[in-house]
Amino acid sequence: MARLLITGASGLLGLNLALDAMTSHEVIGVDRGRLKSAPFRTVHADLLAGDAAERLLDATQPDWLIHCAALADLEACEADPELARQINTDVPSALAKACVARAVQMVQVSTDAVFDGAKAGGYLEEDEPHAVNVYSQTKLAAERAVLDANPNAIVARVNFYGWSLSGRRSLAEFFHHNLINNKSMSGYTDAVFCPTHVTHLGQTLQAMLTKKLHGLYHVVGSQGMSKYQFGVELAHKFGLDDREISPKSILSSGLIARRSNNLMLSTHKLSTDLGASLPDFSTGLDLFYTQYQEGYPQKIHAFLQ
């Protein structure tokens, strides 16, 4: 059993990861006070404080650190690039250095959006990234800072969905909320990605730590699709009307931060090094549906009470 420290423990990935990992590891979640009754130990820490990384690791003594905390709102990053840099680049850099000094295995959670989408096929880890907005630029800078400071760290480029505390954090929740309320919405036909269920992502990250992998990996779903197709697949799974989803180009979205159209990433390196296939899309969607049927969204919402 490893002692696993998870930053951003109230976020979509952090919370789902903690709930899954606590069945086999000692979990400590770093939270800003949102979680009132989590079933795992939580600690408060201001990661922007000058010596926060050292103090946090010394206080918790983890074997593993998975750094999930980030400013992930793309529009907020565009509005305040300096804050985005501090949270998304400076914090993981400091954590990487502190982990090296304490022999802590670290995972830095990055993003598939470090690419500009110009490549037709699946991106490999060796492909040169080109970040097109403030969020992805700060995450790319973090990748480089973490691996420079700590070559034994894992940098995981991800894209995931699942149930969150607020019910508004993932694309799947967006589609589900609008569909069950008979609200029309758009689905981008020219924005392609490789979605993976957040629980499967968390399990994969744990497996990577167990095998003591290091370096850069694409940790996304094994199947690519447009965001429009993703919404349609979700509608069919829940028996809802996919006609509420209108196909639309991302070029007419009106969003401030530029988005990359094609974020198809190859997972060949990861599956080879793990010696196992990654869960397919239908398995993840089945889990998302089963969790809903079993009241999982209500269960995690109760952690706010």
DSSP code string of 159-215 = -EE---SSS-SSHHHHHHHHHHTT--EEEESS-EE--EEHHHHHHHHHHHHHTT--E
Is residue 93 in some structural domain? yes
Is residue 181 in some structural domain? no
DSSP state of 295: T
Is residue 150 in some structural domain? yes
> Is 279 in contact with 197 (CB distance < 8 Å)?
yes
Q: What is the pLDDT of residue 243?
A: 96
Helix (H) or strand (E) holding 242: none
Is residue 233 in some structural domain? no
Q: Structure pTM?
A: 0.96
Q: Which residues of the chain have pLDDT under 50?
A: none
The total of structural domains in the chain comes to 1
Q: What is the pLDDT of residue 253?
A: 74
Is residue 118 in some structural domain? yes
Q: What is the pLDDT of residue 50?
A: 87
Is residue 63 in some structural domain? yes
Is residue 286 in some structural domain? no
Give 230-261 pLDDT, tens digit per residue: 999 999 999 999 999 999 998 877 777 788 88
Q: What is the pLDDT of residue 234?
A: 98
Q: What CATH number is associated with residue 14?
A: 3.40.50.720
Domain limits at 206?
Answer: 3-166+192-223+265-280
DSSP state of 244: G
